[in-house]
Amino acid sequence: MSAPNASSIREGPPCGGVVGSALRSFGEELARAGAAQSGDAFTDIPAADELIRTSPEAFLFGVLFTQGIPAERAWAGPYLLRERLGHLDLVRLAASPDQTAAAVAGPPALHRFIQTLPAWITAAARRLLDEYGGSAARIWSGGADVREVTARLLAFEGIGEKKAAMTVAILARHFGVPLAGAEHGGVAYDVHVRRVFLRTGLVEADSPRAVQDAARGVCPESPGTLDLATWLVGREWCRPRDPACDACRLGGVCPRHVDRNVEGVGARRAQSSERNSRPESSFG
């Protein structure tokens, strides 16, 4: 994958009120910096970060890991799995689901969902071999359209709308992948994002449609620009309890509807069944 591409960042007039403008500014700042997840990193393990940056397949597996566990732990998952298996070879992953399951289960477990996640990895390896010649980069190569890439991602077990939106946003922001149709992107309907949209008054109702419509109102030419900015505000300051409004990036303009909260239902649903292949969960 290539280095962040500042030329892909689209600047434009502020829209969506002062909160929207502030959020948009934060998103554009993160895009200019080519931010990963937290600062310039995905995880706090340098070798794991390097693997995510240099292997499109590891990046895709990392996307599968991003559910129900802290983001840094999720993105370390492919590296730790490789350490245990001794490889991330797609042919071997496709042919040996039991070995992947044992490696994920540990102890210690690499993930909260020790049955579902290995099945997703096995299915992803098989799909990459069958449809993409063993190269995950072909999912998003060749100037593909955001809608096309999203549809391809959604075909993978374990990737729903939330993960697909997050993936597209990371590809554009961090890896500088030149995707057409940025106006068709969106924000991941993550519990942090939902809480921030509610508390800032960008939405009055918590629904996927309301959040996406609001994001398009704030940044119509590239709604995905708001994704990481909103997620970071939610995780760093706009916590479910004791939000740090005075320290918050949006503190100067936000109406601070701190009594508004959302229920993070997705992770619990997946945990209870371990059968949900189209999760709408959050990761911390």
For ligand SF4, the binding residues (CB under 6 A) are 196, 199-200, 233, 237-238, 243-245, 248, 250-251, 254, 256, 258
State which residue, 12 or 255, has the beta carbon closest to ligand SF4.
255
Side-chain-side CA neighbours of residue 79 (13 Å) = 18
CA 5 distance to own-chain centroid: 19
CA distances, 110 to each of 84, 101, 114, 132, 254 (Å): 10, 10, 8, 27, 38
Which of residues 64 and 211 has its CB atom nearest to ligand SF4 in the complex? Answer: 211
Q: Which is nearer to ligand SF4, 109 or 244 (CB)?
A: 244
Please report how close the Cβ of residue 66 comes to ligand SF4 at its closest, in angstroms.
22
What whole-number distance in Å separates Cα of residue 41 and Cα of residue 38? 6
34: tokens are 């080519």
Taking the complex as a whole, the smallest distance from the CB of residue 230 to ligand SF4 amounts, in Å, to: 9
Of 11 and 263, which has the nearer Cβ to ligand SF4? Answer: 263
C-alpha dihedral (222, 223, 228, 232), degrees to nearest 10? 140
Q: How far is the CB of 190 from ligand SF4 (least distance, A)?
A: 14
* Shortest distance (Å) from residue 214 CB to ligand SF4: 14
2/241 with CB nearer ligand SF4: 241
Residues 208-218 as b/e (b if ≥16 CB within 10 A, e otherwise) read eebbbebbbeb
- State the nearest-atom distance from the C-beta of 252 to ligand SF4, in Å: 8
Angstrom CA distances, 23 to 13, 27, 219, 249, stand at 13, 6, 10, 8
